Amino acid sequence: MCTLGTTKVMLVLAAVSNLFNIYLAYILYFILYNLCVVCVATYGVNIVNLVLITVKFRRLSRHKDCGSQSPTKAASKKRA
C-alpha cells in the first residue's frame, strides 16, 4: 500500500517528538539532577520509532507509482 503522504506526517511528528524529548532529557538530567528509567525508555522508543519511519519513508519514496494516488487506483494501474 502506498502511503507516502501519511508517512511524511508521521516523520514530521516523530522528529518533533524527538526534539521535545531532547528538551525533556535536558531538564531531567541537568536541571533536576535526576535520571528516570521510564523516561529514558520512552526516549529510546521514540528514537527507534523515528528510525523505522525514516526507513519506511525512504522505501516509499523510491517507488514511482506512490504518491497522491489512492491504493485502489495504484493497484488497478499495476494490473493494466
pTM, to two decimals: 0.73
Give tens-digit pLDDT for 16-73: 999 999 999 999 999 999 999 999 999 999 999 999 999 999 999 988 666 555 555 5
**The pLDDT of residue 76:** 56
The x, y and z cell numbers of residue 4, run together, are 507516502
**The pLDDT of residue 68:** 56
Confidence category of residue 3, pLDDT binned at 50, 70, 90: confident
